[in-house]
Amino acid sequence: MRVLFLGDIVGRVGREAVIHHLPNLIKFLKIDFVVANGENSAHGFGITSKICNELYDSGVDVITTGNHVWDQREIINFIVDDDRLVRPINFPRGTPGKGAVVRESCDGHRVLVINVMCRLFMEPLDDPFIAVEKAIDGISLGGELDFILIDVHGEATSEKMAFGHAFDGRVSLVVGTHTHVPTADLMVLANGTAYQSDVGMCGDYDSVIGMKKEYPIKRFITKLPTPRLEAAEGEATICGILVVTDDRSGLAISAEPLRVGGLLTEIMPLRS
């Protein structure tokens, strides 16, 4: 199975780049299933129902989120009935929405997508390891499910790496989001799980993690409050990873970076 994961979509330029390029990428790379993190897609803060539907129409099968999931308040009602939009699974009991969903690809492959949020330098949510353990307990990868993906949304690479090793051999992909910078540690772990500490963002890299540079620089230099940050509006780079799995085991055969457009060096995975 060939699954594409796209990093945090930031602002209008990130959305437009994904919507423009994704249909052709799906055809060219023969992709079976697409997951994208959309928590920064509405002006850099949250996501709306309109944006969700635009991303679905472009070929995204499931949208993950993170700490900005509730920034656009309209999503609170929308997420209740949308089985393709997930929020971190370790939010407290009673939080609207789902932290894990199972969806089928066009050819009938069953994919479990789990979204979880780390705790180091983040909100003090429920234990992320226990939450994911409960979500996959008793599930057979390569049997009832063809692919299991965990989007680990967090600041600390140590916490994300711990996640990768803790679930190595039990899931297809553990991928980090949130820091908006692609790390150089994309690999297949010892027991067959693909891993990357952070896939990077789909946004303008002539920026400070996707935001216009002026106010972040001023905040760091002066330590004074500034107006609300705004998403940068230059050409976006799409950052993602393509994971190919063994159909019998559901474990990764290969994992390759994808980068298209903008300032970062372009990388295109192999077609087959």
Question: For this structure, is 68 an active site residue?
Answer: yes
CA distance 145 to 109: 8
Annotated binding site: 8, 39-40, 67, 153, 178, 180
Query: 168 - beta bridge partners?
Result: 171
Give all strands (DSSP E) within the chain, no chain letters.
2-6, 8-9, 33-37, 62-64, 100-104, 110-117, 147-153, 173-177, 187-188, 194-196, 201-202, 238-245, 252-260
- Which 3 state secondary structure label does DSSP give 97? coil
User: Distance from CA of residue 252 to its chain's centroid?
Assistant: 18
Annotated binding site for Fe cation: 8, 39-40, 67, 153, 178, 180
Only one residue has tokens 């991303």, namely 55
Query: 109 - beta bridge partners?
Result: none
Question: Which among 21, 43, 68, 109 is annotated as catalytic?
Answer: 68
Which among 12, 81, 77, 74 has a CA at the least distance from the CA of 40? Answer: 12
How many CB atoms are located within 10 Å of the residue 243 CB? 29
Query: 147 - beta bridge partners?
Result: 111
Q: Give the DSSP letter of residue 118.
A: -
Tokens, residue 209: 């993690």
Indicate which residues carry an active-site annotation.
68
